[in-house]
Structure 1
């Protein structure tokens, strides 16, 4: 805005030798800032300065100098410094190295636009990256840029492409109770209860192999989920806290599994309170690859009547689906799964003919009980003053 003498109250506009106009202003720190581009008309430069002034007054101004850092530098620092599990950090580093840095690493934060992100994503898909990996890479970029917004380096997150972070996978295969036992009974003895625990507690592989004797309360029938083991890309095993605060939980055990665990602990678990519940034959921590080779997973899965692509993680899905079929509501399932949001729990709560039949049968039993109770009361009740008996009306309980 200009004053009576033609001088602006905020910022300056000057004409360059090229004939275009440059806009400049002082930031809150007293340092001079220059508009990222020049303008064809003086009025356009003035309007740009008015926008900057409004942002300052609303507290929405971001320092353009902070956005001059390259995304490659900022992203690598984010992955190194952000609180992540070892396996998650390795996964992010792989996504960054193969799908993000080669395309966006050279671009400055301030130059990243929704159009730039859209072109990058389309390039990944065009060059043969899977939809799953592309969605994961997009979610990583979105998370990094969310932090950039919080840091005041950019005004808003350019990752605004609807559905880009989602990937629809085929419906997760689950096993029946009969198939779970068929699979467990084909395992070497020391791994039989591992399969049952995976199917009927819903714990993840890393949580199961991290269980120690002190985590198993046979008296109360509870597993205390306090830690997990992660196998790193170079083969090392790292113990750490569960993935989230919600993942630290106590999971109630069905009685039959308490009995199975009692026998397993007596024969196969390590000694002392810190002894591993599930371990390799020579006492080492379980490694997924070794486990798969020893139990001949693919052949054993087929022999148990399960589809060839059934993974160990499918046992967790089985447990979650069984919990829903047993009547678990959303909050209860979230606790059992170790999730802090409802999104994952709702995956298992789709309508099924079996569940719908249970609901109908329960409704029928409720109505029958109510009608029987009302009829009984009517038979023993007093008549009205005029001698007429009361009308029987079914009342829902």
Structure 2
């Protein structure tokens, strides 16, 4: 194995030093194929949402396993990772999907380094490979949000207004129950989300992130609309969903909402073809950012959390959240006064401006 006794002694000395520093890795354990290790990683990872599990398995199956899944962990290098990424992009895979696959690979190998002590360092060191540059999304005006609410069936009016003025995700707003909202609609509590998983249908899970569990103050200007919805469309049971389908009273499913509820047709008729429901949340985030609050307080209202943001995340005070809600109410009041006739208010969310979505 060694060319000389001295070489063996040097190896032994180095190994002993690594063991003492806790840096030694067993080369035999590093012979496990990446694909096998990654599959176990997904299965064993605690706290993953069902939708995230589906995404990770798809990324592994489609973009990692066929190309570098058979490579032993110990033989992976930054050069191999860089070439794999370059090949994916050259094959026409989008920058966004490639970045997601790279982040998954980096997460898997970080566990191999930090927790399992299989690798001495993570080979995912390709600068900028984890970044996405999503297309800018349109920012709706307050007037457009109310027009959209007017055009949809009445039972979905409050759905649109809450999504926009409290910055809720689709899964969060469709999971709201009577017990999650004050009788006077002055507050809402987000504690769960509905997630559609292929082959399993709708399931109840936690919000998208840890920061997604939150209580929010509803702008006073839209509270009467929400109270009317509670009175007209929601069963008295405390666990009754706020928003259900027209025909069967079941939880809303996005494909049905887009087609049967006519979202797709309505936004096209408004000249907003391709508008996503998530763009309501995006508009609300932009409006709230103009309320003069801190980044941390804004993040708390949005329920926004990621690896970088989590390091600085702090829950906002109720006073700060109330300032945001009051500012949003002012926007609605200005819209209603303006509706009687005339000019577009410059605070009303700059129609036509493109801002990256969050």
Q: Following superposition of structure 1 onto structure 2, how do residues 1-397 of structure 1 map, counting pairs within 5 Å?
A: 22-23=1-2, 47-83=10-46, 84-149=48-113, 150-219=115-184, 221-234=186-199, 236-281=201-246, 282-306=248-272, 308-340=273-305, 343=309
Alpha-carbon distance between aligned partners in 1 of 2:10 and 2:200, rounded to the nearest angstrom: 59
SS at match of 2:195: strand
Alpha-carbon distance between aligned partners in 2 of 1:42 and 1:125, rounded to the nearest angstrom: 49
Question: Cα distance 1:192–1:235, how it changes in 2: closer, same or farther (>3 A)?
Answer: farther
Mapped contact 2:194–2:204 kept (Cα < 8 A)? yes
Question: Cα distance 1:325–1:192, how it changes in 2: closer, same or farther (>3 A)?
Answer: same
The TM-score normalised by the length of structure 2 is 0.81
Mapped contact 1:114–1:158 kept (Cα < 8 A)? yes
Moved over 4 A (4+): 41-50, 341-346
Mapped contact 1:210–1:227 kept (Cα < 8 A)? yes
CA deviation map 1:110-169 (0-9, x unaligned): 111111111111111111111111100001111111111121111111111111011112
Question: How many residues align structurally?
Answer: 308
**Structure 1 runs not aligned, ≥5 long:** 1-21, 24-38, 347-397
Mapped contact 2:193–2:205 kept (Cα < 8 A)? yes
Instruction: Determine the structure 2 residue equivalent to 1:378.
Output: none
SS at match of 2:223: helix
**Structure 2 runs not aligned, ≥5 long:** 314-358
The TM-score normalised by the length of structure 1 is 0.73
CA deviation map 1:318-359 (0-9, x unaligned): 11111011223211111111123575999xxxxxxxxxxxxx
Give the structure with higher Rg (CA). Answer: 1
CA deviation map 1:66-119 (0-9, x unaligned): 211111111111111212111111111111110011112111111111111111
Mapped contact 1:202–1:337 kept (Cα < 8 A)? yes
Mapped contact 1:66–1:152 kept (Cα < 8 A)? no
- Deviation of the 1:232 alpha carbon: 1.0
Alpha-carbon distance between aligned partners in 1 of 2:161 and 2:200, rounded to the nearest angstrom: 26
CA deviation map 1:13-49 (0-9, x unaligned): xxxxxxxxx24xxxxxxxxxxxxxxx7x876666554
- Deviation of the 1:211 alpha carbon: 0.3
SS at match of 2:96: helix
Alpha-carbon distance between aligned partners in 2 of 1:92 and 1:270, rounded to the nearest angstrom: 38
SS at match of 1:64: coil
Alpha-carbon distance between aligned partners in 2 of 1:236 and 1:330, rounded to the nearest angstrom: 36
Mapped contact 2:168–2:302 kept (Cα < 8 A)? yes
Q: Looking at both structures, which has the greater relative contact order when contacts are Cα pairs under 8 Å and sequence separation is at least 6?
A: 2
Mapped contact 1:270–1:283 kept (Cα < 8 A)? no
Mapped contact 2:185–2:227 kept (Cα < 8 A)? no
Instruction: Determine the structure 2 residue equivalent to 1:4.
Output: none
